[in-house]
Every structure is written in C-alpha cells, then in structure tokens.
Amino acid sequence: MKLLVVGSGGREHALAWKLAQSPRVQLVYVAPGNGGTAQDDRLLNIGITDPNALADFVEKEQIAFTLVGPEQPLAAGIVNIFRARGLKIFGPTKEAAQLESSKDFAKAFMKRHAIPTAEYETFSDVAAAHAYIDAKGAPIVIKADGLAAGKGVVVAQTLDEAHHAVDMMLSDNKLGDAGARVVIEEFLSGEEASFIVMVDGINVLALASSQDHKRLLDGDQGPNTGGMGAYSPAPIVTPQLHARVMREIILPTVRGMEKEGIRFTGFLYAGLMIDAQGNPKTLEFNCRMGDPETQPIMARLKGDFSKVVEQAIAGTLDTVELEWDRRTALGVVLAAHNYPEAPRKGDFISGIPVETADAVTFHAGTALADGKLTTTGGRVLCVVGLADSVRSAQSVAYEAINHISFDGMQYRRDIGYRAANRKHGQG
C-alpha cells in the first residue's frame, strides 16, 4: 500500500520512517517533506500543500490513508475535506482541533468538564486585561488565543512583563488575529511532561510517555523554542500518575468532546505540569503529536505502525496493544544559527552518521539539492540515541552528534538531565 504523511519537520520524518518499515507499505509520500525524507528510497516528497490538491493526489495514486503531522492543516480543516471525499485520514476535524487552535475553547471546555488546569480568564479588552493582571499579581501567564507557532505564550515573572505581553498581543496586534483575544492564567510550578494518546472517537490508546526541553539553553534557560530535545519514557510518569492522567484528564476530554457533538479523532497531546506532590494539571492540549517527542517515541515503537493507524481510522483502537522497546530513546535537536529569533538558512551540512540499531537522525530544516544537504532554518536535525539508561542514551546521541557539522550549529548538552538525575527510572 501507499501512504501519505503531511508536513515537513522531524516529527513527519519520524512518522514516515516508521510507517515505511512495514512490509505492507510500498511507498510513503511526504508533503512537502525535507532533505531527509528526500534521501530515503522508501519515501517520496511531493510539493503539494493545498488540501484539495492533496485529496486529488490521494485519489489518483490510490493512497490507503493519510497521516497529518502539524496543527495548521488540521485547524484549517484538512480532515473535513478528506472525509467529505471519502478518503481515509487520521487527525481531528477542524472543530475538534479547536482544543489546540483556540486556548479559550480549550480552557472553557476544561472548566465545563472539571478537568484540572490553571485558573484563568479570557480578554479582548485591553484595560480589563491590565486590571486582571494587577489584581492577580506576578508571576502570571499570558497566552494568545489562536495558533502562534510557539510565540503565543509569555510566562511573565514580573507585572511589567505581563502588561507588556498584553500590549504586544491586544494593542499592537503583533500576533495578528491569533492575539486578538488573550487567556490570562495562573502560573503553575512543577515539572512538565507530554502525555500523548491516539483517539478513534471513542477508544483511547496511550503512547509511551515523554518529556521535551522547550528552552534554548542548558539548564532550561533562555527563550522558549519549539523543543530542543526529548526522551521517552519519562520517569516522572509513573504507572500511578499514568492512571490518574487517563482518569482525570484524557478520558473526560474524549468523553466531553463526544458529549458536545465534536468527536475527537487523532493524536491528543496533553501538556502536563506535575506539582511537587505529584498532582497533574493540563497546561495545554495539542491535537497532534509533539515535535521532537515523536522522534524518540517512534524510535521505541515496535511492530507495524501502519496497522495501528488503520485501526484508529476504523474505530477499533480497543483491539490494539502497542509494544515498546524497553530502552530509553533520547533525541537532541541541532538548530540553525540564530534560532529561534531569525534562523539562518543555506549552511552546508556534513557528517550525518548512517542509521544503526541504536542511533538514527531525523531531519527537519534541511533540503537536498544536487546531492548536497543544506539547512533551511529552524530546527535542522534531531539525533536520537537508544540505550538501556538515560545516561547511556545521552552518550549514544552525543557521540553521533560529534560527527555532524554545519556553520552556526547550536544544541543543548544536557538533554535528559532531569530523568538522568532521578534515582529510579520507570514508566
């Protein structure tokens, strides 16, 4: 069978790479893909991005199903378009994708269904927003309502920062429509984890736990990014916590969406904040897999992923059991010069090691032209190492990175440090 993956990042490379391992799969098209998907014989990039044109392509090529990586096409309704044409696709409809595409929708939904999350209010009026901040004090968190490609959240440590964020979003329209409304919420402290499940509308299948590092610099310092590295499993997600998150957050969300007539299908990603007592709260929902969490998760997944997605589309996820490599997978992102502000493009990349049983490099911001691999900005590569412990997985990943170079390459040296410092790894 032939499949289609929509997107161009490291997440999509990892999804396509995993799907292509199935003996049933002849070819995985990636739209538009990147330099890494271009180099793999089992994958084929296609330069189509318009959802209707993609649906035409899927019909013509008799593609068995489509898997969507990023949130933008989901929020724009690619699933609605494909389904209306009778084409198989895994992801949420435009309506269900509001769990990610509108923070106000997500917060109001969580409130209605008593799902644990930070206390909040939503504003479009500047003066009212400023008054709320003064009443609540700092630290406080300001979030643009709409999709803002990772730039929509300001964790303000001071009142000044908070007021400035409100002005940036509501008065100066720096984020356009996405910032026309803001959610202002209580600051939560603790440790974050990514809890990702597959949902077929009714049944829920949890993927392996993971954690990412959102800040640019070692020790979780510097600006927020899309994610500088991730690992799976996340030892903080003990079996007890897993059960609690399913019971208090994931299942009420899936049931609540169903009750409200907006069945959720697709990957559901709850970003969690776990406090010192081990209580989880929902920071946000994403209606897709995480990037870079997908890279270590796919590196650990055993068996035929194409069959799992097929069952998810058929609504029979209750019959599926996933099997995981017991090792830890740890992915380190190599980013372009000046990422995240104004990443440079066009640097020549060399030295990517060939894939082995314990190390694989997924591409994101790369392009292949005349046999040469160059950077196209942002997060460029994610190097994943697999080993029996977090520390050994770090050694494997960082050893592979030693061979890779491009001008301006920047990466964190401490991916996985929280997990490595825990006494008993499990989950």
Q: Which residues bind ligand AMP (CB under 6 A)?
A: 118, 141, 143, 153, 155, 185-188, 192, 214, 271, 283-284
Our CB check for ligand GLY shows the closer of 35 and 152 to be 152
Is the four-CA dihedral 421, 281, 219, 148 of positive or negative sign? positive
Minimum CB separation of residue 219 from ligand AMP in Å reads 14
Binding of residue 291 to ligand GLY (CB under 6 A): yes
118 binding partner (options ligand GLY, ligand AMP, none; Cβ < 5 to 8 Å by kind): ligand AMP
The residue within the footprint of ligand GLY, chosen from 192, 212, 310, 347 (CB under 6 A), is 212
Our CB check for ligand AMP shows the closer of 30 and 129 to be 129
Q: Which long-range contacts (CB under 8 A, 24 or more apart) does 275-281 make?
A: 275/188, 275/189, 275/190, 276/189, 276/190, 278/240, 278/241, 279/116, 280/116, 280/193, 280/241, 280/244, 280/245, 280/248, 280/249, 281/116, 281/117, 281/118, 281/188
Q: What gap in Å lies between CA 329 and CA 388, rounded to an integer? A: 9
Minimum CB separation of residue 23 from ligand GLY in Å reads 30
Neighbours of 159 (CB within 10 A): 16
187 binding partner (options ligand AMP, ligand GLY, none; Cβ < 5 to 8 Å by kind): ligand AMP
Please name which of 285, 288, 284, 330 lies closest in space to residue 141, comparing C-alpha atoms: 284
Asked if 82 and 70 touch (Cβ cutoff 8 Å), the reply is no
155 binding partner (options ligand GLY, ligand AMP, none; Cβ < 5 to 8 Å by kind): ligand AMP
Minimum CB separation of residue 142 from ligand AMP in Å reads 10
Our CB check for ligand AMP shows the closer of 274 and 312 to be 274
Our CB check for ligand AMP shows the closer of 20 and 118 to be 118
Please name which of 188, 189, 212, 231 lies closest in space to residue 427, comparing C-alpha atoms: 231
The structure tokens listed for 83 are 């389904």
The residue within the footprint of ligand GLY, chosen from 286, 311, 375, 394 (CB under 6 A), is 286
Asked if 47 and 33 touch (Cβ cutoff 8 Å), the reply is no
Minimum CB separation of residue 209 from ligand AMP in Å reads 16
Binding of residue 310 to ligand GLY (CB under 6 A): no
